[in-house]
């Protein structure tokens, strides 16, 4: 489902730390570390159709909760995170 949303133009936000993001991220993902996002979430949301991703899904779940708390209704957590994405043989960028 997340892959379909991404292909349809959902905003993809990677909430991992800078070193994790640099090691590889989903194509087209914007990097906004979770701590930065939590301080000012509205600054980092471009639309009400957002997929959050982290390493395995825990931090991105927190980002989803914050996005929902500020009124977004179409927020999604990439199940399995980047590790799950890679395990399925899907591409990443460096």
Rounded to a whole number of angstroms, the CA Rg of the chain reads 12
pTM of the shown model? 0.94
pLDDT at 87 over 70: yes
Domain boundaries, the chain: 2-87
Q: Look up 64 and say whether it is catalytic.
A: no
Q: What is the pLDDT of residues 31-61, one digit of tens each?
A: 999 999 999 999 999 888 999 999 999 999 9
68-84 per-position pLDDT tens digit: 999 999 999 999 999 99
Class of domain 2-87: alpha beta
50: closest CA among 19, 20, 5?
A: 5
**CB hemisphere CA count around 58 (13 angstroms):** 2
Which entry of 32, 34, 51, 54 is annotated as an active-site residue? 54
40: Cβ contacts below 8 Å, ≥ 6 apart: none
Which structure tokens are listed for 27?
A: 């194509």
């Amino acid at each position: 489902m997340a892959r379909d949303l991404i292909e349809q133009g959902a905003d993809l936000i990677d909430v991992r730390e800078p070193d994790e993001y640099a090691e590889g991220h989903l194509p087209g993902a914007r990097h906004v570390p979770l701590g930065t996002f939590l301080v000012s979430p509205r600054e980092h949301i471009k639309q009400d159709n957002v997929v959050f991703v982290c390493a395995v899904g825990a931090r991105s779940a927190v980002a989803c909760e914050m996005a929902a708390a500020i009124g977004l209704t179409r927020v999604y957590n990439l199940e399995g995170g980047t590790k799950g994405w890679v395990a399925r043989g899907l591409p990443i960028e460096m």
